Structures are given as structure tokens and as C-alpha cells.
């Protein structure tokens, strides 16, 4: 089985050397991509987009196979996509550690119920003191942030449904998405409201970095044109159902779309929106380790018993994993990995092939739950029972409890 090169858990496979950009667009402050200067900033080869089949009706009625034209989808769903303006006073740094600046940022969002609930990205409204939303040519209305989760980069806004007068978008399932499926994005790139673009699903199970430094897994990659201002808007399937929330792009140093964009799966949003509406935040289980991917080459170099698993790079001092006896290594290798640590291969009986699997397995639990972690220490397979803690608000210095970001990606607001 072919394995990816050894990367840490926040690495986005296939992102090249370009900047990774959170798609919030500054109105009063200039924004753009940060080029690290050591990556490949060339444009990816053009890909012919698969056209949507034409519908036999002009009123948005689905074909027998459930697919609609782009025009039908736009006609039906654009009325539920909002333009968001979030005003900040500059008192808080950006979600990616950049200095706070006074001004306004814009993004997108979409209505999910008849109660005026709007789903968007957390980084769109991070630090906002005032939020207003606008539908088409109507006047903007006030909205409040009902809940925000930096670990998933999702936020819920609440507006008066009588003032909003919007039709909720139908929600699909990201489990049904396949590579090659046609997709449609509706949003407000660079402030151009109600812009529609099309593309395909380029890849699945990508990872991006959340505003708090942890990894967001199972992300959808698309080549639909996504730009700053699209953040928080819907990614729709060929039947006009929301399958993802557009969040970030890889720019290749260009500052705009090069056909590599990332959307958070709608199923992740479905799982946390009720908690955000009720409690305003999400508490997540926490193991307290930083892990790295293992390739066949790394397994051979380090004489590991398996080429699958998550190699422990750091353990948070006093954290759940350390208390259970899980160890990190201490010797840096030619692959820029720390050797000698435990190799996690299963959590609660769930096989671990890569670091993202650890995060996913721990996410199925609540703080205080006990999980069974199986790992290799040298050639010996051992088991530890870990009482998971509560994930901290920020990954901080990335010394333990999360995943290191790739050096060739740079999220900016």
C-alpha cells in the first residue's frame, strides 16, 4: 500500500508550497496571502470541470436522478446565503495569531432553519463586537454570535427570522460525497455578493488547521473558484444540498484561487450546531499528545514494527497521556521526526493508520471518559487506559495535545 510522506497531522496533502488562507476578507484593512518564499507557487494544471446535467424543468424541480442545473440551484438556494460583515475594535488578535486590527471583515454564511439560525466560520466573526447580515438587495439586519467553536472553525449566528425572511438551505450528508462529484459554491468573494462558481470534488479526507491550532479532519477539497469572502458559505452538491462549509484555500503565493479549496464537512457541523445553540461552545476530549505520520521509509529507518500508526512526538506534561504512561522520543532523525516515542496503533479497538485517526477516535468521547490506547514501545505491543481531559482553548506552543502545522502552509485572515 502506498503511503504518504511522513507529515505531521496538520499537513494538507497536495497543498504544495503555497499559503493556506482563511477566507475572511478585510473591508477596511488590506489582506492577502503570505508567501513563505520556499515553496512551489506555480499554478496547478487546469482541470476540465464536469458540467451539471440540465433539468427538464425551469422552476428548480429536480430531475429523476435528483440533479439540478447550476441555474436551478442558484435560484433555489441563493436566497438562503447571507453576506456577513463583522466589525471589530482591534482589541483581539486574529484567530491565526496575527495582531488585531480595527476595522471590518466580511464573509459568507447560510440559513439552516426557520428560526433565523445562520452557520458560518468561526474565523469570520472572531473578536467581532458587531455583526450584520444581508440577503441580496435587502437591508442588512443585526445578528448575534450564539456560539463559536475554534476547533472546528464553525460559528452559529442568530438573527430575527421576521427581519431575515430567508429560506433555509437543504442539508445533505458529507458521507455521500465522492471524488469527482460536481459541486457548486455560493458566496461573497471580495464583497461581490451572491457569486456562484462550480467545480468538482478533487479529494476527500484532507486536513486543515483550525484557528486554535488543532487539526480539522475529513475535509473536502474542491477546484471550484473560492476566494477571500467565500468563507462560511455553502458548498453544494448537484442536488443543491449543503455538503460543506467553505473555509480555506491554498494560494500558491498568488493571493487568490488556484483551484485548491477546502470545505468543512456538513456532518461535522450537524454534530455540534445543537450544542453551540444551547451552550455557546463545545467541550472536546483531549489526549495530550503530538503525533506524526509514518511512511514505509520512516518505518524502515526507525526500525518500527509497523508502517501504520501515529508516532508520538511530544506528550503534554501532566496531561492525560503522560499520566497513563505514554512516552515521546528524544532523538531527531534525518526525516525531521523525533524517534524513540510510542507508536499508537489503536484507540478503543479502532485501528490507527495516521494522526488524524487518533483525533477522530478521541473526538468520539467526552472529557472524563476512559479510552484504551494500544501502542508499540520498541517491538512490544502495550495497552494504556487513559482518562481523557478537556481540550484547551489554544494549542499554544504546540508542545503537546495537538498536531504541528506544516511549515509550507500559512493561514491568514
Q: Which domains does the chain possess?
A: 9-42+50-282 (2.40.10.120), 285-390 (2.30.42.10)
CA-CA distance, 331 to 337, in Å (whole number)?
8
Question: Catalytic residue at 153?
Answer: yes
Question: In this predicted structure, what is the pLDDT of residue 141?
Answer: 92
Contact between 284 and 361 (Cβ < 8 Å): no
Question: In this predicted structure, what is the pLDDT of residue 341?
Answer: 93
Query: Which candidate in 41, 72, 94, 123 is catalytic?
Result: 123
CA-CA distance, 24 to 242, in Å (whole number)?
20
Question: In this predicted structure, what is the pLDDT of residue 281?
Answer: 86
Question: In this predicted structure, what is the pLDDT of residue 73?
Answer: 94
Question: In this predicted structure, what is the pLDDT of residue 28?
Answer: 30
CA-CA distance, 107 to 336, in Å (whole number)?
37
Contact between 390 and 1 (Cβ < 8 Å): no
Question: In this predicted structure, what is the pLDDT of residue 177?
Answer: 94
Contacts of 277 (CB under 8 A, 6+ apart): 117, 146, 147, 156
Contact between 287 and 388 (Cβ < 8 Å): yes
Question: Catalytic residue at 303?
Answer: no
Contact between 76 and 67 (Cβ < 8 Å): no
Query: Which candidate in 41, 231, 247, 257 is catalytic?
Result: 231
Query: Which candidate in 72, 77, 149, 153 is catalytic?
Result: 153
Exposure string over 358-388, b if 16+ CB within 10 A, otherwise e: bbbbbbebeeeeebebbbbbeeeeeebebeb
- Write the DSSP symbol of residue 171: B
CA-CA distance, 183 to 239, in Å (whole number)?
9
Q: Which of 188, 282, 187, 191 is nearest to 242 (CA)?
A: 187
Taking only the tens of pLDDT, the chain with its 413 residues reads: 433 433 333 333 223 334 555 665 553 322 222 233 333 333 332 223 334 433 334 444 444 467 889 999 999 999 999 999 998 765 444 333 334 445 678 899 999 999 999 999 999 998 888 999 998 888 899 999 999 999 899 999 999 999 998 999 999 999 999 999 999 999 999 888 889 999 999 999 898 888 887 888 889 999 999 988 899 999 999 999 999 999 998 877 666 667 899 999 999 999 899 989 988 888 888 899 989 888 888 888 888 998 889 999 999 999 999 999 999 988 887 667 888 999 999 999 999 998 888 988 898 888 999 999 999 999 999 999 999 998 877 654 333 333 433 332 223 22
pTM for the whole structure: 0.71
Around Cβ 204, how many Cβ atoms within 10 Å? 15
Question: Catalytic residue at 151?
Answer: no
Amino acid at each position: 500500500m502506498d503511503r504518504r510522506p511522513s507529515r505531521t497531522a496538520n499537513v494538507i496533502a497536495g497543498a504544495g508550497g503555497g499559503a493556506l488562507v482563511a477566507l475572511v476578507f478585510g473591508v477596511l484593512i488590506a489582506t492577502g496571502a503570505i508567501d513563505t518564499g520556499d515553496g512551489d507557487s506555480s499554478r496547478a494544471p487546469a482541470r476540465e470541470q464536469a458540467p451539471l446535467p440540465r433539468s427538464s424543468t425551469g422552476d428548480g424541480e429536480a430531475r429523476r436522478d435528483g440533479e439540478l442545473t447550476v441555474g436551478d440551484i442558484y435560484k433555489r438556494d441563493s436566497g438562503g446565503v447571507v453576506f456577513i460583515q463583522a466589525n471589530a475594535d482591534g482589541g483581539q488578535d486574529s484567530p491565526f495569531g496575527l495582531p488585531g486590527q480595527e476595522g471590518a471583515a466580511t464573509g459568507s454564511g447560510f440559513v439552516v432553519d426557520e428560526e433565523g439560525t445562520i452557520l458560518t466560520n468561526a474565523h469570520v466573526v472572531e473578536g467581532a463586537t458587531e455583526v450584520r447580515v444581508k440577503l441580496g438587495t435587502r437591508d442588512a439586519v443585526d445578528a448575534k454570535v450564539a456560539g463559536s467553536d475554534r476547533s472546528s472553525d464553525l460559528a452559529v449566528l442568530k438573527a430575527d427570522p421576521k427581519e431575515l425572511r430567508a429560506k433555509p438551505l437543504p442539508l445533505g450528508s458529507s458521507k455521500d460525497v465522492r471524488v469527482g462529484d460536481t459541486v457548486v459554491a455560493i458566496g461573497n468573494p471580495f464583497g461581490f455578493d451572491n457569486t456562484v462558481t462550480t467545480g468538482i470534488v478533487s479529494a476527500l479526507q484532507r486536513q486543515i488547521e483550525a484557528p486554535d491550532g488543532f487539526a480539522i479532519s475529513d475535509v473536502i477539497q474542491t477546484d471550484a473558484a473560492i476566494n477571500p469572502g467565500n468563507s462560511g458559505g455553502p458548498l453544494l452538491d448537484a442536488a443543491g444540498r449543503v455538503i460543506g462549509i467553505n473555509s480555506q484555500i491554498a494560494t500558491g503565493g498568488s493571493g487568490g484561487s488556484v483551484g485548491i479549496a477546502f470545505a468543512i464537512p456538513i456532518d461535522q457541523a450537524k454534530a455540534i450546531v445543537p450544542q453551540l445553540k444551547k451552550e455557546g461552545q463545545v467541550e472536546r476530549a483531549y489526549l495530550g499528545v503530538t503525533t506524526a505520520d509514518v511512511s514505509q521509509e520512516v518505518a524502515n529507518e526507525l526500525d518500527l514494527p509497523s508502517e501504520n500508526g501515529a508516532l508520538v512526538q511530544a506528550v503534554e506534561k501532566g496531561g492525560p497521556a503522560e499520566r497513563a504512561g505514554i512516552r515521546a522520543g528524544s532523538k531527531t532523525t534525518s526525516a525531521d521526526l523525533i524517534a524513540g516515542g510510542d507508536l499508537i496503533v489503536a484507540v478503543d479497538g479502532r485501528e490507527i493508520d495516521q494522526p488524524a485517526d487518533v483525533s477522530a477516535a478521541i473526538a468520539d468521547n467526552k472529557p472524563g471518559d476512559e479510552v484504551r490506547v494500544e501502542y508499540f514501545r520498541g517491538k512490544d505491543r502495550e495497552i494504556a487506559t487513559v482518562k481523557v481531559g478537556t481540550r484547551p482553548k489554544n494549542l499554544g506552543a504546540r508542545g503537546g495535545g495537538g498536531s504541528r502545522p506544516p511549515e509550507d502552509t500559512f493561514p491568514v485572515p
